[in-house]
Structure 1
């Protein structure tokens, strides 16, 4: 079940849309061991409003180019917080895109093509367990998908995201 248009995952408000998932497409090469090719597309049984003036839901542009290191972005989700409990309310954090070569110092060969890093080397702000699959948005474009990391908000270990522009052709071919 997919719930859209509400900030509280347990409360539906005016404009909330609930849909069952009719199917999911995922890459045949996904590896749980390495998190390589961590991308999928859900197809909903209920269509979304065609107008772009819906109260609480709007389409997002999928990024078709790489994002510059230092770009400021937002990650959101209902994942764990400091209390290790999943959040009831949708949370958002500002994060910065980190240069691949810098991120590779932390993650070594675990950081592969199709992944990007965002967060802060000082730690303190990050996505966390329960946020996986959530959006990393930069300049109103979907740039990344929350994938994995070393714990949450740990110094020296920013979050790892699936790079949307790297998989754009694959995503668009699922339509």
Structure 2
């Protein structure tokens, strides 16, 4: 991967399982807490290459604003 920007974490696994197609958005859990979300990998399921995860803590302000915005909008009942 090229140089990483802020808010991205590079993670390797010790179990030999890497990310693959359909894994985007899967959580990275450490100490029982979600600390990242899967965003990219180099080769499907290849333990030799680390995967990239968004850093949830880095993006916490955006996440908090998004959740507040969603909480304000109540679903409308369908007409009929």
| Unpaired segments ≥5 residues, structure 2 | 69-80
**Aligned alpha-carbon RMSD (Å):** 1.9
What is residue 32 of structure 1 aligned with on the other side?
Answer: none
Which residue of structure 1 aligns with residue 60 of structure 2? 168
The structure where helix makes up a greater share of residues is 2
Q: CA deviation at 1:137?
A: 0.8
Quick check: 1:123–1:158 contact (8 Å CA) kept in 2? no
Gaps of 5+ in 1: 1-106
Cα-to-partner distance string for 1:71-129 (whole Å, 9 max, x where unaligned): xxxxxxxxxxxxxxxxxxxxxxxxxxxxxxxxxxxx232x2111001124x89321211
Greater strand fraction, Structure 1 or Structure 2: 1
TM-score after normalising by structure 1: 0.35
What is aligned with 1:135?
27
Query: 2 CA distance for matches of 1:113 and 1:171?
Result: 16
Between the two structures, name the one with larger relative contact order (CA 8 Å, sep ≥ 6).
Answer: 2
TM-score, length of structure 2 as denominator length: 0.71
Count of aligned residue pairs for this structure pair = 66
Go from structure 1 to structure 2 and tell me whether the alpha carbon gap of 1:123 and 1:112 turns closer, same or farther (over 3 Å shift): farther
Superposition misfits of 4+ residues, deviation over 2 angstroms: none
* Structure 1 counterpart of 2:2: 108
Matches within 5 A, 1:59-74: none
